[in-house]
Structure 1
Amino acid sequence: MISLTSPVRTRAHEWPAKLKLAALALVTMGLYLIPELWQLGLVTLFVIGLYALPGRVFFMGGMRRLAILWPFVAVLAIWHIATATYLDGVTFLLRLICAFGLANLVTMTTALTEMIEVIRWLATPLRRFGLNTRALELAIALVIRILPSLIENGRRLVDAWRVRSHRRPGWRIVLPFTLNALDDADHLAEALRARGGLLESKES
């Protein structure tokens, strides 16, 4: 499991997580209020500039993490080309890239512990009804941490297959990928049990 927080320190690292998440929500909604394509283009350039400000290492790290978005962009682009809705397609894709880019910036500049604190704060009303919010907090934290690890394991399996065969891996790596994921889940379950499981400690 890995952390998604960038090791390159920026001013945004010092900003409160609540402020960054609230700003992200407002800006994301604001993207859908921008009617002109050229205005969305300027916003896209601004987002790219935010990645470039902290330097090359931060920029390249951010672009690598956004690489997972490109298959979705390709599928949507093909759809809009097939339906001849070019302007709508470009507009939607720019909004999508900006929204994901800004969300990734928040993730790269916010420690996971800060994210969990925000989730815990948002879930306060649920605890008043006697619900165990620790499970929710842990689930979100584990998804954030484990997904990049699963993606990396999948890439390694694909690379290993290509070394041994010129054919596309396709469904052939599904079984080993699943077994690796189950093995990781088993180790994770043991670690959780060793730390008290999902039982929430009593608060004074």
Structure 2
Amino acid sequence: MISLTSPVKTAAHNWPAALKLAALCVATVVLFAVGHLGWHLAFLVGMCVLYALPGRVFLRSGMARLWGLWPFVVLIVGWHVVIGDAAGGALIGMRMLTAVGLANLVTLTTRLSDMMGVVRKLLSPLRRFGLHPHRVELAMALVIRFTPVLALKGQALVAAWRARSPKRPGWKIVIPFAVLALDDAERVAEALRARGGVSR
């Protein structure tokens, strides 16, 4: 597992996690409430400026994490062009990039333990209904930690396929990818059991 927090320290690293998550929620609501193309272009430029403020290294790292969105943006915009709604496709594409970019910015500047602390506080009132916040907290932490790991393993599978065959991998790497994911899950489960499991 790897850390998603950026090693480049910024002023935002010292801000409370609850404040950043609340600001992210407000920004996301605004993004979906506004439907003007010009505003969304301004939001996208503003998001890029936020990445550029801490310096070139932080900007490069942040943009590299957003690069994986390009197939989805191309697909969405292309489909809207086909159906004759290019403006709508551009709006959705910019909205997606801005929303994910802002969420990634919060992740880069917030420790996972701090974010899980906010989740724990929000879920604490639900204890009386039988919900165990620490289990939800653990599940969220595992998803956040393992998503980039699985993405890297998927890229490694594609690279291995291309090194052995001129054909495109397509659906044929789905099964080995699923086996890798299940193997990782089994290893994590064994590690949790070795440490006492998820206690009540």
| Superposed pair shares fold, TM > 0.5 | yes
Residues 120, 168 of structure 1: alpha-carbon distance in 2 compared, 3 angstrom cutoff: same
Q: Deviations over 1:147-191 (max 9, x none)?
A: 110010010011011111111112222222122112111110011
Q: Deviations over 1:73-121 (max 9, x none)?
A: 1111111111111112212221221111111100110100011101101
Instruction: Give me the whole-angstrom Cα distance separating, in 2, the residues matched to 1:139 and 1:32.
Output: 28
Counterpart contact for 2:4–2:145, Cα < 8 Å = yes
Residue 164 (structure 1) aligns with: 164
* Alignment partner of 1:139 is 2:139: yes
Instruction: Give me the whole-angstrom Cα distance separating, in 2, the residues matched to 1:126 and 1:142.
Output: 21
**Higher helix share goes to which structure?**
2
* Alignment partner of 1:198 is 2:198: yes
3-state SS, counterpart of residue 131 of structure 2: coil
Unpaired segments ≥5 residues, structure 2: none
Residue 67 (structure 2) aligns with: 67
Instruction: Give me the whole-angstrom Cα distance separating, in 1, the residues matched to 2:177 and 2:96.
Output: 29
Instruction: Give me the whole-angstrom Cα distance separating, in 1, the residues matched to 2:86 and 2:74.
Output: 13
Instruction: Give me the whole-angstrom Cα distance separating, in 2, the residues matched to 1:126 and 1:33.
Output: 30
Unpaired segments ≥5 residues, structure 1: none
Equivalent AA in structure 2 for residue 116 of structure 1: M
Residue 3 (structure 2) aligns with: 3
3-state SS, counterpart of residue 3 of structure 1: coil
Q: Please, what is the CA RMSD of the aligned residues?
A: 1.3
Q: Number of matched residues?
A: 200
Residues 87, 16 of structure 1: alpha-carbon distance in 2 compared, 3 angstrom cutoff: same
Instruction: Give me the whole-angstrom Cα distance separating, in 2, the residues matched to 1:17 and 1:147.
Output: 21
Instruction: Give me the whole-angstrom Cα distance separating, in 2, the residues matched to 1:101 and 1:131.
Output: 31
* Alignment partner of 1:96 is 2:109: no
% of aligned pairs identical? 54
Instruction: Give me the whole-angstrom Cα distance separating, in 1, the residues matched to 2:111 and 2:19.
Output: 14
Residue 179 (structure 1) aligns with: 179
Residues 131, 32 of structure 1: alpha-carbon distance in 2 compared, 3 angstrom cutoff: closer
Instruction: Give me the whole-angstrom Cα distance separating, in 1, the residues matched to 2:171 and 2:93.
Output: 29
Q: Please state how far the C-alpha of 1:21 moved relative to its aligned partner.
A: 0.5
Residue 78 (structure 1) aligns with: 78
